[in-house]
Copies of this chain bind each other. A is one copy, B any other.
């Protein structure tokens, strides 16, 4: 295998309502932590993933301001947009930049500050990443679309809603040990079922919350990895794929083609099979999306993902540890930051720094981040450096 690029520094803010900090403040905080973690190397490029700062924070071109704030002058700066997949896409672009040789080191940051606007505006902005010609103007929201999928999944595959929401319960159990999580506490099925109805049958405790946060990683090429870091993390694969945006145009409502394709490509690229992967960070705006992700990645047959969850086989310590630091529901889901939170958390696991949630002997992790209901999916396979060295 060609020696891959590496992650040599990671950092993030806590996900919460950051009333006292601007979207730029959050990005700066995460970047400074990641840079410090890497021993403050020179960086040649900054890649920023952000979904909607113009709409939610009245500031565009955030990445140029970020370079100014970090006092890094004259370097390459690039902002990428893919709704709530923006963070992982920034990581992808940074990784191909380093592979191409255009940059020797790069900083990839994801940030979102969602609490500057009212929840109605958050929902409106979220729908701008779906097809405005159909869904946006009908007034439906992401939880509304997820409700349709949830009902169909339950009917077709015989799952109860109480079974599905165990995905959220798993997230929260893991978030309880993550000091950066927005909701660091356990919940049970009863708590989910007694929380307010958002879009029948979806309950409030089954949906990712609204929060502010930023996460960042420092990347470099293989030759610099061990020079910069004691425990570099290898990016074995970084794959992006799209699928039909409108649910109504997909062959099957309960499929996420972009994820199936990106996961397959990534495993092929890394020359690994699922058996080699020790943990999974997946995109779960609601439980049904999390369950479908298990199926599309290949951990379960179609219609069987909910059984993995019900049998607690996705817990840390079980067969397929999923969302080991809390996932979108527990850690929180600041759109453009989520993909980089996943990368930071995966790096913690692979460096043996995941505390009480450490997956024993974790050598390889897979992360999956997507835009909306899967118009774009981004899959990364990360590994302990020793696996490739």
Please give the residue numbers on chain A whose beta carbons come within 8 Å of chain B beta carbons, in ascending order: 45, 51-52, 54-55, 58-61, 63-65, 67-68, 73-83, 89, 92-93, 96-97, 99-102, 125, 128-132, 136, 238-246, 249, 257-258, 261, 371-372, 375-376
Contact = CB atoms under 8 A, between A and B. Distances in A.
A99 B97 CA distance: 9
Contact of A129 (B51, B60, B80, B82): B60
A188 to B, nearest CB: 36
A132 B100 CA distance: 34
Nearest to A246: B68
Contact of A93 (B54, B68, B93, B136): B93
- Copies of this protein, total: 2
Q: Which 3 A-B pairs have the closest CB atoms?
A: A64-B375, A100-B100, A60-B128
A59 B100 contact: no
18 contacts: A52-B60, A55-B55, A58-B132, A59-B128, A59-B131, A61-B128, A64-B242, A64-B375, A65-B245, A67-B242, A68-B245, A74-B257, A74-B261, A75-B242, A76-B240, A77-B82, A78-B92, A93-B93
A79 B78 contact: no
A127 B93 CA distance: 27
A130 B61 CA distance: 7
A79 B86 CA distance: 9
Given A51-B60, A79-B81, 4 more contacts: A61-B245, A64-B376, A75-B241, A75-B242
B54 A128 contact: yes
Contacts of A63: 82
A80 B81 contact: yes
Given A241-B74, A245-B68, A83 B60 contact: yes
Contacts of A80: 78-81
A249 to B, nearest CB: 7
Contacts of A375: 61, 64
A89 B45 CA distance: 13
Contacts of A243: 73-74
A11 to B, nearest CB: 21
A356 to B, nearest CB: 37
Contacts of A52: 54, 60
Contacts of A125: 54
A59 B240 CA distance: 21
Contacts of A58: 128, 132, 136
